[in-house]
Amino acid sequence: MRVLITGGAGFLGSHLTDAFIREGNEVFILDTGSSFKIRHLLDNARFHFVHDTVFNLEMLESLIIKCDLIYHMAAVVGVEHYVADPYAVLNVNINGTQNVLRLAHKHNRKVVFTSTSEVYGRNPKVPWDEDDDRVLGSTRIDRWCYSTSKAAGEHFCHAYRKMGLPVVIVRYFNAYGPRLDRVDVGRVLTIFIGQLLRNEPITVIGDGSQTRCFTYIDDAIRATVAAGLKPEAEGEIINIGTDVETTISELAETMIRVSGAASKIKFVAEESVYGKSYEDIQRRVPRVEKMHRILGVKADTPLEEGVRQTWEWFRAMAQ
């Protein structure tokens, strides 16, 4: 099979590429980013890295025509961007998605759209069922531009499905693992890893009681592959994650233990890290019944094990 993965050089995309290559498929990735996360594949004859954007319609169309299945993962992701460059978030995530869907529809190719648990916003009623409400703050709070952009992408998916496009929507819950972001930037795990590598204090925001369901990359990828291959997934929205909640304080303690670093926890104010244009989410928990039933996958890698794999990868990179 030939698979197109937009954003295939990113964290999720590179692991998904590995999975399809491992199974003997041919993979085309379309990505504007660096080849760092897929550099081990550059010599593989079944792997093709097209360094371009989803706004290059000619290129995009030629790839869509070649491929049997499309994963649309190209997006501007990362809390630092939501606040620093909301325009890029909205433009790429909404208009770029529309380009992919329009051309996939024209050539009748199945699309898996990778969305996010951010779509649910801060709905206090957890765990979240795929059809639960989205609860967002004011449009003046830049944080919500990412959630809104992905929700708009999902609406486009539903609209194109009504016009006959085969489409699946998946929503990730704090996926983590080797190749996640860069140390010190992006998500809580990589920020903590940077601090651990230097034996600095671990900056837990607020009182550390906020929770996330940290989902190990291998589990997330098994579910993502199934979302593209299982006919039963078509037309569905499916949460991808574990429903085991971890407080940020527990995460910090686990990471200190696994790394053996001399770091201690330091509680800091939310504004000192993200500025005013941000709102944290207290709890984020998926209902995972659909993932189990339709995709046949359970995200059961224990946090300690996933953190160990991730820490070891980043430590090796830092040497």
Catalytically annotated residues: 146
Give yes or no for residue 255 binding ligand UDP (CB under 6 A). Answer: no
Q: Which two tokens stand for residue 93?
A: 């995530």
- Among the residue ranges 19-27, 86-94, 183-191, 301-309, the one whose residues contact ligand UDP (CB under 6 A): 183-191
Give yes or no for residue 273 binding ligand UDP (CB under 6 A). Answer: yes
Give yes or no for residue 187 binding ligand UDP (CB under 6 A). Answer: yes
Give yes or no for residue 248 binding ligand UDP (CB under 6 A). Answer: yes
Return the H-helix or E-strand segment holding 244: none
Backbone angles phi, psi at 89, to 5 degrees: -60, -50
Q: Which is nearer to ligand UDP, 30 or 248 (CB)?
A: 248
The residue written with tokens 């980043």 in the block is 314
Give yes or no for residue 215 binding ligand UDP (CB under 6 A). Answer: no
Number of residues that bind ligand UDP (CB under 6 A): 14
H-type alpha helices, the chain: 11-22, 57-66, 79-84, 86-90, 97-106, 144-162, 188-197, 217-229, 248-259, 270-274, 289-290, 303-318
Give yes or no for residue 109 binding ligand UDP (CB under 6 A). Answer: no
Give yes or no for residue 203 binding ligand UDP (CB under 6 A). Answer: yes
Helix, strand, coil tally for the chain in percent (to 5): 45, 20, 35
Q: Which 55-94 positions form the footprint of ligand UDP (CB under 6 A)?
A: 79
Judged by CB under 6 A, the residue of 174, 224, 254, 310 near ligand UDP is 174
Q: Would you list the DSSP string of 25-57?
A: -EEEEEESS-SGGGGGGTT-TTEEEEE--TT-H
Query: Which residues of the chain form contacts with ligand UDP (CB under 6 A)?
Result: 79, 174, 187-188, 191, 203-205, 210, 212, 248, 273, 280-281
